[in-house]
Structure formats: C-alpha cells, structure tokens
C-alpha cells in the first residue's frame, strides 16, 4: 500500500509540476479552472506571474524528491533529519491547503459556486489531503 501511494503521489505531483511549467510559458489549457475567482463576477482573484508559477513547479518537484528519498527509490541517499523535516513541512502545507483560507480555497471556503470552487471541492483539496497523508505515512 505504501509503495502504491508513493508512486501515485510521485506521478501526480510530477504531472502537476509539468502543468505549472506549461502555464508559466504561456499555455492556457485548463488555466481558467485552476485559479480562484470571486463570487458573482467570475473574474480571477489574482493573476499568477511566470516566476511564481515556476516556483510552484520547482517546489512540487522538491516534494517528489523528498518522497523518492523516503520511499527508498534513491538508494544512495539516506533519510536524514532534514529530509524528514521537509516531509513534515510538506504534509503540513498540503493539509493546510486542503483546509483552506475560509474564503476562496479549501474544504471550508465561502465561495462555492464558481468553476474553481467546484473543482477545488472534488479534486484539488482531496488531492492535497492524499499528498499530505502520503507524506505522513512515509515518515513512519
């Protein structure tokens, strides 16, 4: 079970990272469904920049690296306290993202009827919970 969760998380995080690189360099496919929008006007709550989007892609790859080390997929690297601390940090970030800001993102958001909000409820937040649980399981 542990290996299946790790491999699925690695695959999904890798794909999401590639999507962020695609968006950073001008790709538009799916971009309207992944940015929170305010209630009523359906205008994006923010416009992500190229550098911020690339930073997210790099951070997602960093999570992949941590999961690969903890999962034993890089045998010449030993699990250190730094890797464990990074994994704890990733788990906390993913769980907090799933809980949300109580306004536009997460399970406890107020705005619930936009395209993003529906996707967030049924896909993005559950994925964050899954990634957080995967990080926690790999710690033990």
Q: What is the pLDDT of residues 101-140, one digit of tens each?
A: 999 999 999 988 888 999 999 999 999 999 999 999 999 8
In sequence order, which residues have a C-beta less than 8 Å from that of residue 136 and are 6 or more positions away?
91
- b/e string for 26-45 if b means 16 or more Cβ within 10 A? eeeeeeeebbbbeeeeeebe
User: Which of 124, 137, 140, 139 has its CA nearest to residue 12?
Assistant: 124
Residue ranges per structural domain of the chain: 2-139
Q: Above 90 in pLDDT, residue 16?
A: yes
Residues 45/104, Cβ–Cβ less than 8 Å: yes
Q: Above 90 in pLDDT, residue 19?
A: yes
pLDDT of residue 40: 67
> Considering the entire predicted model, what is its pTM?
0.93
**Token pair for 135:** 């990080």
Q: What is the pLDDT of residues 27-68, one digit of tens each?
A: 989 888 899 988 767 788 888 999 999 999 999 999 999 999
Q: Positive or negative CA dihedral for 47, 8, 15, 138? A: positive
pLDDT of residue 33: 87
């Amino acid at each position: 079970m542990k290996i299946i969760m790790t491999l699925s998380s690695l695959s999904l995080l890798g794909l999401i990272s590639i999507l962020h690189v695609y968006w950073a360099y001008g790709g538009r496919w799916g971009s309207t469904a992944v940015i929170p929008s305010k209630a009523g006007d359906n205008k994006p709550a923010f416009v992500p920049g190229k550098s911020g989007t690339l930073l997210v892609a790099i951070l997602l790859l960093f999570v992949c690296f941590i999961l690969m080390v903890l999962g034993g997929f890089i045998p010449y690297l030993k699990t250190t306290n730094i890797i464990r601390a990074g994994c704890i940090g990733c788990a906390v970030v993913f769980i907090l993202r799933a809980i949300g800001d109580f306004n536009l993102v997460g399970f406890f958001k107020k705005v619930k009827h936009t395209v993003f909000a529906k996707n967030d409820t049924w896909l993005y937040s559950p994925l964050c919970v899954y990634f957080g649980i995967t990080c926690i399981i790999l710690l033990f």
